[in-house]
Structure 1
């Protein structure tokens, strides 16, 4: 088997109606994968970037992520945030319950949610906190508790809520052969590690795969839906957003540590991706303001 091969992941949850597991590590290592199980992740502590389909977005403590069946995804802790991450993951495979079950009128809201889940959703605030309580009961059921009933209540909670941030405009499936390309995991993981280097170029990234820059450009756009430079800028700005909110570093420090060697270019790109200046983003999003 070739190294860095992105492939379907077999989960122990496939043997259960529902399974929730808590994890705690110093950091979350980037791992691009997909699976037929629907996934819910409650992020108790830690921050970094979430790749889901063709979307790249910062994640932080207190959020809940819904990943539909076969939606390729990966979480990665920010390089500067390696001091602790805690999260709970729930998996279940709707097909194990039977198609007729999901066609019941009582399940119409939940079925609609599961059909949308292939786009991916990010929840925060009250709904995420309420969902975390259900996850705790499913992970550690008390005598007489019914985890499957808790799951249905949890899914209905999400189905009734309209505050979730949709991650992709349409469902994306890892079943697509191009998404499973053996080299994509390596490229995305490598970019996670090197995006802060201001000298990183498309030509250098093309060398990782022994491709010419034009061929790499076409390859990357076909598999990710984004041009390489756009993805790199988005990755850098996402890192900058995390640093603006979690540190008291100056905007200049944040810009250079994110991979920009020109402050005016950083400001332009920041506004392009966030519709904010770095200063207004830090202030309106509740970031730490330096003295």
Structure 2
């Protein structure tokens, strides 16, 4: 499987769950693998899925679970054909680190069905169709949660799947390649660490590319192919996450959170905050305050 790409889910420090929604303009269709588990709902669009060494067709309403390092890739039908059918590509995915739950599995026998589900997810799993709408609803609800609530909701989703779903495995155990490695992932990890350490500073694309001894175009292609994001998108998301941490801690007002998270312009901060969090910084602060009252 020489064309499989090592992918790095853009998890930030102290983050164990990430929700991504992609559409026609953001579809990543390269066959890839990553250390995180992935739960994906097909909202719109059809095409082909490669999982392990097998190929399947997929349709709207289907839900898939991929374990750590399972090669997979969704290939959506030609966009012109999709337009003719009146539907483009859209899917929602949860990425999560299984190791976050290991101590829970060890100490609580009540979680045994979830543990078994994730143990077998290394083969890939297509969920039965009957519960797809409820799973999609739960995933959308999770997307708007913060921190611990998001972990609890993910556990609820996995428990729901493990106790009430009959599905099909996608690969045979002997087909899984255990030796998939990629040195470029070490470089991406270094880029993440560099950004975490310098997010308060002015960082240009030329700065970070030069730090890693690449030209800006080469670095941009490298980062996008491994993360499905531009570096600037990743940097903005990291800064918004840091601003949220400052607001929740109660040590910064929204203006201080703006400048301490690396933004230099209030209007730009508000615009990006609203795009990423779905609310203004002030609304976010009020919501956080109400949760503690």
TM-score, scaled to structure 2: 0.54
Match of 2:47 in 1: 48
2:100 to 81, 96, 99: 96
| Change in 2 beyond 3 A, CA 1:133/1:50 | same
User: 1:32–1:74: 8 Å Cα contact kept in structure 2?
Assistant: yes
Match of 2:8 in 1: 10
2:117 to 113, 131, 145: 113
> Per-residue CA shift, 1:131-190, capped at 9, x if unaligned?
111100111228x9811111001001111134212111327545424x97xxxxxxxxxx
Q: Give 1:142-157 correspondences, 5 Å limit.
A: 146-157=149-160
Q: Does 1:170 align with 2:173?
A: yes
| Change in 2 beyond 3 A, CA 1:145/1:101 | closer
Q: Identify the range of structure 1 (22-31 vs 50-59) with the bigger mean alpha-carbon deviation.
A: 22-31
Structure 1 unaligned regions, length at least 5: 181-291
Counterpart CA distance in 2 for 1:113 and 1:27 is 29
Match of 1:81 in 2: 81
User: 1:47–1:81: 8 Å Cα contact kept in structure 2?
Assistant: no
User: 1:68–1:114: 8 Å Cα contact kept in structure 2?
Assistant: yes
Counterpart CA distance in 1 for 2:157 and 2:174 is 22
Q: How many correspondences in the alignment?
A: 175
Match of 1:20 in 2: 19
Counterpart CA distance in 2 for 1:112 and 1:163 is 14
Match of 1:67 in 2: 66
User: 2:128–2:165: 8 Å Cα contact kept in structure 1?
Assistant: no
User: 2:131–2:165: 8 Å Cα contact kept in structure 1?
Assistant: no
Residue 7 of structure 1: how far off its partner (Å) = 3.3
Partner of 2:20, secondary structure, is strand
Match of 1:122 in 2: 126
Residue 100 of structure 1: how far off its partner (Å) = 2.1
Q: Identify the range of structure 1 (108-117 vs 127-136) with the bigger mean alpha-carbon deviation.
A: 127-136
Residue 57 of structure 1: how far off its partner (Å) = 0.5
| Change in 2 beyond 3 A, CA 1:108/1:145 | closer
> Per-residue CA shift, 1:101-135, capped at 9, x if unaligned?
22121211100000010111112432211111110
| Change in 2 beyond 3 A, CA 1:52/1:163 | same
User: 1:21–1:90: 8 Å Cα contact kept in structure 2?
Assistant: yes
| Change in 2 beyond 3 A, CA 1:14/1:54 | farther
Residue 27 of structure 1: how far off its partner (Å) = 8.1
Match of 1:133 in 2: 137
Q: Which has the higher helix share?
A: 2
TM-score, scaled to structure 1: 0.54
Bigger RCO of structures 1 and 2 (CA < 8 A, at least 6 apart): 1
User: 1:24–1:86: 8 Å Cα contact kept in structure 2?
Assistant: yes
